[in-house]
Amino acid sequence: MSLFSNLVLDLVDFKDRVRPLAKDIALMDVTRPYQKHNMNTLLRDEQEFQDTVRKVQADIEKEAIEEGYSSREIEGPDSRKQQ
């Protein structure tokens, strides 16, 4: 009997508490773009995003340079004859 009453209490808790909270969270996510925001906050967030993009691009370029090789590293057969 105790197991059944716990199950019923869990279902009631889900219906009364969890579903409305999930609905509120979903509504906040959907309406976030339409809420008023402080202009300074928006500009700061945009600047942080741009800085992050630049940093990632620089890291990608640095890795590409380190992984690759230049023509100076590999000598061809002609370069040995000239020396």
Question: How do residues 51-82 score in pLDDT, each as one tens digit?
Answer: 999 999 998 888 766 655 555 555 566 655 55
**15 shares a domain with 42:** no
**1 shares a domain with 30:** yes
Q: What is the dihedral of CA 19, 20, 21, 24, to 10 degrees?
A: 120
Q: Which residues contact 76 (CB under 8 A, 6 or more apart)?
A: none
20, part of any domain: yes
Amino acid 70 reads: S
2-37 pLDDT, tens digit per residue, is 788 888 888 888 888 888 888 999 998 899 888 888
Q: According to the model, what pLDDT value does residue 62 have?
A: 81
15, part of any domain: yes
74, part of any domain: no
Structural domain count of the chain: 2
Task: Give residue 42's domain range.
Answer: 38-67
82, part of any domain: no
Q: According to the model, what pLDDT value does residue 43 have?
A: 93
**45 shares a domain with 31:** no
